[in-house]
Structure 1
Amino acid sequence: MLWLAEAQEQGGARIAQLQDVDLDHIDLLQYDAGPSTNFHADGLGVALAATHAAGAPAFGAPPARWTSHGFIGPAYSPLPMPLEPTARWGEFFGEQRIRHLLQLGRSKGLWEDDGALFERIADRLVSGEFDDGRPPARLHGDLWAGNIIWTREGPVLIDPAAHGGHAETDLAMLLLFTAPHIARIIAAYDEAAPLADGWQERVGLHQLFPVMVHAIVFGGDYVSQSVEIARSYA
């Protein structure tokens, strides 16, 4: 959280203030909820672009001062996620996200008949087919709608899985779980930091990561949803 909060000095998104942390709890400053408005959505888009622009040393790089692997998922059952600095985004995302999650899922009996789909996507990623030469962005990493607190002063972000990655990953997660005023957020972001050509066609590729996480943690329709997405890119 501190790594993300550092970007606020350059206009980055507001990050919830950490009050206390221990092995069994994380206490955050309490915020008074407010309405989500077009004005605040526009501000979030611009601020998120600034957070991403603060950058990271590499794709897959952990936050400053963090020396372990990462986590994502519910607090009662978080999934460990590798954080190995990598020169190219496709190699990072293919190996440390898609293949890693495929292995976790297979250990739980998932994707036994569809593993080849995910392997082909990982191969395409690792080959550099989806790399666009953009530098690593400073990602929230788990930016679904529930991790935005809307206050009267504007949105505040909570519960990050921060790392260096591709900016489109945060935006794809906002789109996956339909954050309020999502069209305004994306438009304001695009005006502040123009998105690469064809970004809409890659949304599902980035969404495959959180959907696979949900398939492993919750099962159900998320398993078939992940396979459906995979077929679009395999």
Structure 2
Amino acid sequence: MTKRRGDAPERFFEAEAAGLEWLAAAGGARTARVAEVGPGWIELEHIAEVRPDRVSAREFGTALARTHAAGASAFGAPPDGWSGPLFIGRRPMAAAAETSWGRFYARDRVLAFLPIAEAAGNVSPAEAELVRRAAAVVASGAFDDDDPPARLHGDLWNGNVLWSAEGVVLIDPAAHGGHRETDLAMLHLFGCPFLAEVLDGYERERPLRAGWRDRVPLHQLHPLAVHAAGHGRSYGVALAGAAEAVLALD
């Protein structure tokens, strides 16, 4: 499968290749193999898709836990060996080298996209203030824990989860070091077939901390902020709702 974009930002597909290879090196969840990559294009192995099933879902959860456990050098860290830009979709995404997940997440994964969403008219001033209040709580370290930086896919919505006869294959990452609950929250946000089985497989391999379900809105702030920046008013409303839920946790 070859993807081409004449309007691709500089090193766009090279960043995708670096992310896929870094995730693959974890030895957990399978990623599409990169055959070749160059300016404005990338060639990936063809994935023949099949219907999702419970066994593959459980195996995917276990494999994803292993990918996360492979870790990253810091919160916000790019794939090992990659010094170029990072992207989520077509939008630039900052790299960082933080020891505090909250500082990194609030600054680089939530607030970075909020002005874009405001300028697009998808977030009202009152909603933006809610998001900023929630981000301030996150940045304070209120939700920091002893989980080390996880090796995240970073854009783990259902469209990037392909089901093959050999199991799940991941594509189109926004790979970086982050909190493992963020990948799982994105699966919740956009839906994933047999999600209960995915989570069962994950927790059998690497149990989540108590209360993780209550923290799903916290970890959805990032994907909602990204989508509010370019995908419509409904995501601005959802972002404000997630911010309210985060403030209620504090």
Shorter-chain TM-score tier: over 0.9
Per-residue deviation, residues 89-125 of structure 1 (Å, max 9, x unmatched) = 1111011111111132234343333222111111111
Q: Contact conserved, 2:120 with 2:230, CA < 8 A, in 1?
A: no
SS at match of 1:134: coil
- Would you say 1:15 and 2:27 are equivalent positions? no
Q: CA deviation at 1:63?
A: 0.5
Q: Contact conserved, 2:114 with 2:229, CA < 8 A, in 1?
A: no
Per-residue deviation, residues 164-215 of structure 1 (Å, max 9, x unmatched) = 0000000000111111100000111011101011100100111121112111
Per-residue deviation, residues 4-62 of structure 1 (Å, max 9, x unmatched) = 11012xxx000100112222222210021122111111110000000000000000001
CA RMSD, 1 decimal: 1.2
Match of 1:184 in 2: 197
Match of 2:14 in 1: none
Q: Contact conserved, 2:131 with 2:239, CA < 8 A, in 1?
A: no
Q: Contact conserved, 2:109 with 2:222, CA < 8 A, in 1?
A: yes
Structure 2 stretches of 5 or more lacking a match? 1-19
SS at match of 1:200: coil
Find 2:113's aligned residue among 82, 91, 101. Answer: 101
Write out aligned runs for 1:161-176 (5 A). Answer: 161-176=174-189
Per-residue deviation, residues 66-103 of structure 1 (Å, max 9, x unmatched) = 11331112xxxx11111111001111101111111113
- Would you say 1:41 and 2:57 are equivalent positions? yes
Match of 2:71 in 1: 55
- Partners in 2 of 1:21 and 1:220 — Cα distance? 35
Match of 2:24 in 1: 5
SS at match of 1:71: strand
- Would you say 1:196 and 2:212 are equivalent positions? no
- Partners in 2 of 1:111 and 1:66 — Cα distance? 37
Find 2:167's aligned residue among 135, 142, 154. Answer: 154
Write out aligned runs for 1:65-84 (5 A). Answer: 65-73=81-89, 78-84=90-96
- Partners in 1 of 2:154 and 2:102 — Cα distance? 16
Q: CA deviation at 1:133?
A: 1.2
TM-score, normalisation: structure 2:
0.87
SS at match of 2:50: coil
Find 1:87's aligned residue among 88, 96, 99. Answer: 99
SS at match of 1:201: coil
SS at match of 2:82: coil
Structure 1 stretches of 5 or more lacking a match? none
Q: How many pairs were matched up?
A: 227
SS at match of 1:47: helix
Given residue 98 of structure 1, which amino acid in structure 2 is its aligned partner? V
- Partners in 1 of 2:136 and 2:75 — Cα distance? 17
Identity %: 45
- Partners in 2 of 1:56 and 1:230 — Cα distance? 27
Given residue 15 of structure 1, which amino acid in structure 2 is its aligned partner? T
Match of 1:27 in 2: 43
